Amino acid sequence: MLGLKEAGEFHGHLGPFLVLGYLAGALAVRMLKPANEHELRAEVRVPLRRPYSCIVDGVQCSSRCTLGKGNIEVEDSEEYALIFRKGDKGLRLDIRLEVIERILERGMEEGVRWLLSLGEEKVFRITWL
């Protein structure tokens, strides 16, 4: 897993939507405990336009689910859902709409600081599948 600083370097900047994806991937890894980079699969359902699509890069950096390995699927959607699977276990993380709205009201740096100050339960609705 890349650190958050390295994820920002990979993406080109450290923005709040990158951080959202990074936090989701890190949470999935912590909860599902994949043994290696091939065991976890991700499905990202977000609007495929900036800034929302930046979530995809964050997921790749923290979960090690990548387009190159083919263990991530990206779907253009009006929802903000991240689904992770390891074998028969699954985890769905829905980004709370109020979090999206608050990020959009703030600038990049302030949005990142605010987001990192929240607990996971305030950012995501977490559902076991």
CATH number of the domain to which 67 belongs: 3.30.1330.130
**1 pLDDT more than 90:** no
Q: What's the Cα-to-Cα distance from 125 to each of 6, 80, 91, 115, rounded to whole Å? A: 27, 11, 10, 15
Tell me the pLDDT tens digit for each residue of 13-51. 999 999 999 999 999 999 999 999 999 999 999 999 999
Number of folded domains that form the chain: 1
Q: Tell me the residue range of the domain where 72 lies.
A: 4-128
Tell me the pLDDT tens digit for each residue of 103-115. 999 989 999 999 9
Edge-to-edge strand list for the sheet holding 124-128: 72-76, 41-46, 81-86, 89-95, 124-128
Q: What is the pTM of this model?
A: 0.97
